[in-house]
């Protein structure tokens, strides 16, 4: 690149140097900035540095001069603070949705938002018990296409698969495409789901894991008209995920007082707690007569009890009997 062209770009190079190499713990003097610019074949005087920095400050770059013998210039604030970037990196590393390779790509991009010195602090490793990474590299493009279809009021087509023991894709419906009206996206237990609508099926609403979808395309066909009053997305999600995948019943449950935080996390901070003595409290809540809910009660051991209704108590007793039989009891 000709020297004259580089010279015209001097303020841009100067901004990049300051963004990449400075922070409140790593300063550069005007002379050091001149020396670094020389590496790019850009001659500069300290006087010209002062003028360029003033122009960058007026442009909106928060460049601060720390006075003193050990002082110098540095970028004092950025779009993301270091603590915010650390939080984002932790989220990327711990997410099951994001593949290992894509995690590294995203972290590299996040690291470019701070100085080189501070970026080293983003080389973190978050260990999450039992956390496995996704295998589907195209999930980002699938999500993008889904939102485009929702916003444009179009149907989508896609293929849906499971994995074999050799981690190979096994497509459902004999490799035929699904054609659905996308309605909403749902995040549940670190997985992304697409809620779809189809008036041609008995179960009008259906959920599909986005990381198990392939060849997602937006169709030219208009989406089916979705009546939100007739089909409640909130109710569907409540019944489909977690403990709400069975018949909804109103139950009275008792817990040891050591489980207050656990109960509030599960049922919400507005849940009314009633002291029933003996170091226990009770709540009344809508739950489902399903293995998911019963399993949640089971894992709490003797510190949780279903008081009512009797049908739910019977279901719990039957589940415990089946588990006992499996272990020869």
Cα(189)–Cα(95) distance, rounded to whole angstroms? 10
- pLDDT attached to residue 299: 92
Cα(53)–Cα(64) distance, rounded to whole angstroms? 9
Domain boundaries, the chain: 3-75, 82-122, 145-233, 242-326
- pLDDT attached to residue 43: 92
* End-to-end Cα, the chain, rounded Å: 81
- What's this model's pTM, rounded to 2 decimal places? 0.58
CB neighbour class for 183 (10 Å; exposed up to 12, middle 13-18, buried from 19): buried
- pLDDT attached to residue 134: 63
Cα(216)–Cα(98) distance, rounded to whole angstroms? 17
CA dihedral 7, 10, 11, 15 (to 10 degrees): 170
- pLDDT attached to residue 138: 78
Domain 3-75 class in CATH: mainly alpha
Cα(80)–Cα(111) distance, rounded to whole angstroms? 10
Cα(63)–Cα(49) distance, rounded to whole angstroms? 12
- pLDDT attached to residue 36: 95
Q: Which two tokens stand for residue 157?
A: 């087509």
Cα(163)–Cα(170) distance, rounded to whole angstroms? 6
CATH match for 242-326 among 3.30.70.240, 3.90.1150.10, 3.40.50.720, 3.40.50.300: 3.30.70.240
- pLDDT by position in tens, the chain (length 329): 445 457 789 999 999 999 999 999 999 999 999 999 999 999 999 999 999 999 999 999 999 999 988 899 999 999 998 889 988 888 888 777 777 788 888 889 999 999 998 888 887 655 544 455 566 677 878 888 999 999 999 999 999 988 887 778 899 999 999 999 999 988 877 778 899 998 887 668 888 988 889 999 999 999 998 887 777 777 777 767 666 666 778 999 999 999 998 888 888 778 899 999 999 999 999 888 888 899 999 999 899 999 999 999 999 999 999 988 998 86
- pLDDT attached to residue 130: 46
- pLDDT attached to residue 1: 42
Domains 3-75 and 242-326 share a fold: no
């Amino acid at each position: 690149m000709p020297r004259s062209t580089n010279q015209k770009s001097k303020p841009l190079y100067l901004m990049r140097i300051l963004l990449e190499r400075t922070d409140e713990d790593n300063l550069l003097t005007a002379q050091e900035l001149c020396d670094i610019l020389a590496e790019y074949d850009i001659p500069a005087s300290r006087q010209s540095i002062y003028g360029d920095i003033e122009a960058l400050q007026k442009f909106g770059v928060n460049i601060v001069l720390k006075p003193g013998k050990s002082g110098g210039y540095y970028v004092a604030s950025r779009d993301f603070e270091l603590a915010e970037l650390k939080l984002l990196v932790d989220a990327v590393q711990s997410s099951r949705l994001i593949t290992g390779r894509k995690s590294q790509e995203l972290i590299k991009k996040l690291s470019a938002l701070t100085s080189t010195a501070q970026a080293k602090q983003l080389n973190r490793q978050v260990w999450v018990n039992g956390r496995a990474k996704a295998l589907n590299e195209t999930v980002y493009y699938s999500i993008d296409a889904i939102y485009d279809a929702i916003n444009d009021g179009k149907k989508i087509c896609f293929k849906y698969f499971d994995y074999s023991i050799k981690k190979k894709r096994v497509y459902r419906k004999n490799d035929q495409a699904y054609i659905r009206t996308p309605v909403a996206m749902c995040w549940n237990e670190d997985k992304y789901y697409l809620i779809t609508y189809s008036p041609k099926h008995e179960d009008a609403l259906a959920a599909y894991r986005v990381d198990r979808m392939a060849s997602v395309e937006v169709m030219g066909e208009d989406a089916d008209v979705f009546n939100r009053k007739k089909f409640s997305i909130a109710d569907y999600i409540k019944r489909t995920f977690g403990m709400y995948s069975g018949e909804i019943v109103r139950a009275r449950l008792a817990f040891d007082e050591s489980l207050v935080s656990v109960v509030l996390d599960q049922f919400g901070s507005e849940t009314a707690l009633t002291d029933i003595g003996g170091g226990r409290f009770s709540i009344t809540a809508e739950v489902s007569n399903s293995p998911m809910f019963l399993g949640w009660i089971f894992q709490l051991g003797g510190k949780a009890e279903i008081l009512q209704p009797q049908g739910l108590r019977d279901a719990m007793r039957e589940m415990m009997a089946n588990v006992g039989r499996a272990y020869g009891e």
